[in-house]
Structure 1
Amino acid sequence: MAQLGGGNQPILIFPEGTDRLLGRDAQRVNITAGKLLAETVRTTLGPKGMDKMLVDSLGDIVVTNDGVTILKEMDIEHPAAKMLVEVAKTQEDEVGDGTTTAVIIAGELLKKAEGLLDQDIHPTVVANGYRQAAEKAQELLNLISFDADDRDTLMKVAMTAMTGKGSEAAREPLAELVVDAVRQVEEDGEVDTDNINIQRISGESVNESMIVNGVVVDKSRTDPGMPKQIEDAKIALVKYPIEVKDLETDAKISLTDPAQMQAFIENEEQMIKDMVDKIIASGANVLFCQKGIDDLAQHYLTRNGIYAIRRVKKSDMNRIEKATGAKVVTNLDDLKPEDLGEAGLVYEKKIFDEVLTFIEDCRDPKAVSLILRGSTKHVAEEIERAVEDAIGVVASTVEDKKVVAGGGAPEIAISKGLKEYADTISGREQLAVAAFAEALEIVPKTLAENAGLDSIDALVDLRAAHEKSFYIGLDVFAGDVVDMYQAGVVEPQRVKKQAIQSAAEATEMILRIDDVIATKGTGAAPDMEGMGGMPGGMPPMM
């Protein structure tokens, strides 16, 4: 609630129960929220990062060190913290990896900004300085990147993304699968990762994972009497239901004698038989239907030796289309032999407790499937998350053909360049650029801390080594600074580019907020009572 006016008569302009934070109080609370969120995921960074166990209200458990998964699973309430969650989600959508990096850079930028605000530097000046620094950082990133998209580099990129995650024990064979999958679906230098289907199955070790040169659909035949295996498959993809449609309007049919009833039933049966006849006439021996298939239609399909699956997901239909060359038809009258896709083999197979349909031996499939195994459900889920990250970074490398060294090397190199750039700027923005440079050092510092190393010694050694080469990063296993490119630790340029850009923009937006007005009772407002005068005060986040 806020009020205006003098004397004894206040004028209310907000509803009763509205919380409001103004000026420095609003900035302090928002900054603290961002810092706390970054601290939450910070311990998961790097090859020696630890995992988080998240338990929801239903008791379901997620064990992961994937930054965006942690943030999605947490029930975050504070609006400023939600803005940093969006940073992680954007990073995940754009690149697939580097979500933790993006959030901890944003948290450190907010922390450094707090120090500048305490020196009475205006938030707009800090925001402008950060924007200049982010633009310069992109220039510096281009200078320290190198061109590469050969198989060896793609393998290194994939293994770097999976190091420190649940899949690390089998990262080399998994990297082989990922690189093969991405290269298979590449079209004209672009990779649509939706064309890589991942089937996660518990049981067996991760080493039993495999790639299918085609598509795997997590459905079985609609009728056990249908053939279990079809060679030289001619595949029809149908959106139209193979059943008699219900009337869209209420209607009554009056039948005056049993013969009419019999004729009505026979007519329905004939309609279904005609649909199946059209499928048979096209030459199809495999049918994937996005809608339902009537029991009678299943009978006719079975009698004609056709392998059929109903209620196939739209995403699976798209992948089958890409893999086999089939065309999805919405009307059975339009189904022609040239609309059919081709595959050497279509068969049903049970793996552990999952019954799957395999479409293999496609001529030049632009969609593939990965079957990932894990000893338990939670292990398999974490392996899937690691493989998804690897697919994202390999796809980014194939598209951009630019990579950087890992192990904190890019952050130190950009930080060094920004400090030199800051000396060329006049005005208070210079302090913001210098603060941005220092904030980037949080990445190698966190890598060192998570590995149990002395972070100050690590930063000093890295700064000294970067006088000679910007490939030098922190080897957390050896506890020393080494040439990361020679060590095979490389990352796509896009991971760093997106992380720095989105962290800077989110921080700038948060710094510009000087008034937080939250209406209670909507479920969206954090509890801010008493926060105004509490130094370091923080609304509950979870």
Structure 2
Amino acid sequence: MRGLNTPIYILPAKTKRYIGRDAQRMNILAGKVLGETIRTTLGPKGMDKMLVDSLGDIVVTNDGVTILKEMDIEHPAAKMLVEVAKTQEDEVGDGTTTAVVLAGELLKKAEDLLDMDIHPTIISMGYRKAAKKAQEILDDIAITADDEETLLKVAMTAMTGKGSEKARKPLAELVVKAVKQVEENGEVDKDYIHIQRIAGASVDDSQIVDGLAIDKGRVSPLMPKKIENAKIALLKYPLEVKETEIDAKIRITDPSQMQKFIEQEEEMIKEMVQKIVDVGANVVFCQKGIDDLAQHYLAREGIYALKRVKNTDMKRLEKATGGKIVMDIRDLTEDDLGEAEVVYEKKIFDEILTFVEGCKNPKAVSIILRGSTKHVVSEVERAVEDAIGVVSAVIEDKKIVAGGGAPEVELAKRLRDYAETVSGREQLAIQAFADALEIIPKTLAENAGMDSIDVLVDLRAAHEESTTMGIDVFSGEVIDMLEMGVIEPYRVKKQAVQSAAEAAEMILRIDDVIAASETFKSKGEEESS
């Protein structure tokens, strides 16, 4: 009987374990802290964060997903919210800060309900019902539009408050033109919009290329700098003598054999170049290497060639020029060649680029972004990527909603009405969800230096008349966002509400955190041990 009092250990001695309310409090706190950290970046008057990594590299941005990716986050629950931002970025390209701030606020409101002894499962069920109802309300308030003026306004709204704001109109025009260029059958593959960053000029000097810009120059200075009426061969085959796949030794007994061996190699390379000449190609983009001898023969034939072109660039070239990527040079035919009016090399600031311009109907384009420093141009790129995402979403869905906190206030209003139709404690969770949604207009007001309570009261009153009333953070008034041209894709709000609700629900259902001691070990503990 004495053995019954012996403690039984099923986990290693150094394992940390948090059970029940301790686990919930710890996870909710992590979510709240993360939400509060990036809250100040939301909206046109949001502030920027400076992130310095272990190597001293600096990133200055107010882009939610970039901040969260660059932060060295260790807490497991906080990492789950980072995934929310990444999903939002992949799905839409914008609204990452909104999604994480909303998830943090949902967790904060859930904590109040937990203090009232409401079971986490009931809160989760209430949140799930509220999220489903929110999607229905968004469907109801969404407006159908995809004309060019709407696309420009959506792009400009996405770039407001970011590094590119002073040139947002010309940049928005570039983005809309690029997205419409690559659109096929109502769908947009954002991978076919290539963004090339070059420091050393104003953001206003950014331009769209009538085709593609590849960040490489020709392989030999003896090659022509410019080819008009270009016939382009796209090769995934090295223009060099291939090494054998198995180890092989060649036994040479006299110098004449050595000479024959070298001549044979030269002949093989000559044949490759002759094949390119025979099919009529005068430009070669090669994904693999090009031998020095091959470069010499190509230059002699007046052919412009690039080597080690990235796989993504090869795919874009295929889309832009109408050519086909050839895996074996022996299979190259005239039908595989792409076409362009001109291919030329040009130096911009300290970058040498190859331009492929004048393609018939290019389904891939390049945007060249300029900025005074590399930090400026990086932030402009993030803003442009957001704009590309939102314009693509509107073209695909053909649905928009008003900006400036208008959808969130309308959702909160209608969810409170819906909560009254639900019996039991789930009603409280739905009301908490509605309250949490108002964190977005509150934050927009706070970041603009306005009184968030006054603004919220005015917004609620305005929404009795119209669903599109939001905050003009520049004048400090509540006005119609559609008239002001502040509009966002329906998909941004739909995805943000859905992702935030699902992440909050998942975190709330955790009642036991079992972690190896290293996970929660602070640096101080590491240094002292």
The TM-score, its normalising length taken from structure 1, stands at 0.95
SS in 1 for 2:494: helix
- 2:409 paired with 1:415: no
1:348 match: 345
1:81 match: 78
* Partners of 1:397 and 1:403 within 8 A in 2: yes
SS in 1 for 2:505: helix
| 1:137-286 correspondence to structure 2 within 5 Å | 137-286=134-283
TM-superposition CA deviations, 1:228-278 (whole Å, max 9, x none): 000000000000111111122222111000000000010011111111111
- 1:295: Cα distance to partner? 0.5
SS in 1 for 2:514: strand
2:109 match: 112
Work out the percentage of aligned pairs sharing the same amino acid: 72
Go from structure 1 to structure 2 and tell me whether the alpha carbon gap of 1:178 and 1:6 turns closer, same or farther (over 3 Å shift).
farther
SS in 1 for 2:484: coil
- 1:16: Cα distance to partner? 2.0
- From 15, 18, 25, the equivalent of 1:18 is 15
1:401 match: 398
- From 24, 28, 33, the equivalent of 1:27 is 24
TM-superposition CA deviations, 1:300-349 (whole Å, max 9, x none): 00000000000000000010100010000001111100110000010000
One-letter amino acid matched to 1:489: V
TM-superposition CA deviations, 1:112-134 (whole Å, max 9, x none): 00000010000000000000000
Structure with greater helix percent: 2
SS in 2 for 1:41: helix
- From 428, 433, 442, the equivalent of 1:431 is 428
List alignment gaps of at least 5 residues for structure 1: 530-542
CA distance in 2, matches of 1:519, 1:164: 42
TM-superposition CA deviations, 1:76-110 (whole Å, max 9, x none): 00000000000000000000000000000000000
* Partners of 1:324 and 1:342 within 8 A in 2: yes
- From 312, 322, 327, the equivalent of 1:325 is 322
2:520 match: 526
CA distance in 1, matches of 2:447, 2:121: 34
One-letter amino acid matched to 2:160: T
1:499 match: 496
TM-superposition CA deviations, 1:362-401 (whole Å, max 9, x none): 1110001000000111000000000000000000000000
* Partners of 1:471 and 1:485 within 8 A in 2: yes
- 1:6: Cα distance to partner? 7.2
SS in 1 for 2:288: coil
- 2:419 paired with 1:442: no
2:476 match: 479
SS in 2 for 1:44: coil
1:466 match: 463
One-letter amino acid matched to 1:145: A
2:510 match: 513
SS in 2 for 1:418: helix
TM-superposition CA deviations, 1:447-478 (whole Å, max 9, x none): 00000000000000000000000000000000
CA distance in 1, matches of 2:361, 2:342: 14
1:534 match: none
The number of residue pairs the alignment matches comes to 522
- 1:288: Cα distance to partner? 0.2
CA distance in 2, matches of 1:224, 1:73: 40
- 1:487: Cα distance to partner? 0.2
* Partners of 1:282 and 1:337 within 8 A in 2: yes
* Partners of 1:182 and 1:391 within 8 A in 2: yes
- 2:92 paired with 1:98: no
One-letter amino acid matched to 1:262: Q
CA distance in 2, matches of 1:190, 1:6: 69
* Partners of 1:412 and 1:440 within 8 A in 2: yes
- 1:526: Cα distance to partner? 2.2
One-letter amino acid matched to 1:470: T
CA distance in 2, matches of 1:478, 1:368: 38
CA distance in 2, matches of 1:421, 1:70: 36
User: Deviation above 4 Å: which 4+ runs of structure 1?
Assistant: 5-8
- 1:8: Cα distance to partner? 4.3
- From 364, 369, 381, the equivalent of 1:367 is 364
CA distance in 1, matches of 2:425, 2:149: 46
* Partners of 1:19 and 1:528 within 8 A in 2: no
List alignment gaps of at least 5 residues for structure 2: 524-529
- 2:297 paired with 1:303: no
What do you get for the CA RMSD once the two structures are aligned? 1.1
TM-superposition CA deviations, 1:384-430 (whole Å, max 9, x none): 00000000000000000000000000000011010000000001110
SS in 1 for 2:517: coil
CA distance in 2, matches of 1:423, 1:456: 24
- 1:519: Cα distance to partner? 1.0
SS in 1 for 2:285: strand
- 2:343 paired with 1:376: no
* Partners of 1:462 and 1:481 within 8 A in 2: yes
SS in 2 for 1:264: helix
- 1:195: Cα distance to partner? 0.5
2:526 match: none
CA distance in 2, matches of 1:147, 1:8: 70
TM-superposition CA deviations, 1:473-502 (whole Å, max 9, x none): 000000010000000000000000000000
1:59 match: 56
SS in 1 for 2:483: coil
1:538 match: none
CA distance in 1, matches of 2:131, 2:27: 21
One-letter amino acid matched to 2:303: I
2:43 match: 46
- 1:527: Cα distance to partner? 3.3
TM-superposition CA deviations, 1:165-219 (whole Å, max 9, x none): 0000000000000000000000000000100000000011000000001111000
Go from structure 1 to structure 2 and tell me whether the alpha carbon gap of 1:6 and 1:384 turns closer, same or farther (over 3 Å shift).
farther
CA distance in 1, matches of 2:503, 2:382: 25
One-letter amino acid matched to 1:526: F
One-letter amino acid matched to 2:418: Y
One-letter amino acid matched to 2:409: I
CA distance in 2, matches of 1:27, 1:213: 55
The TM-score, its normalising length taken from structure 2, stands at 0.98
CA distance in 2, matches of 1:6, 1:56: 54
SS in 2 for 1:11: coil
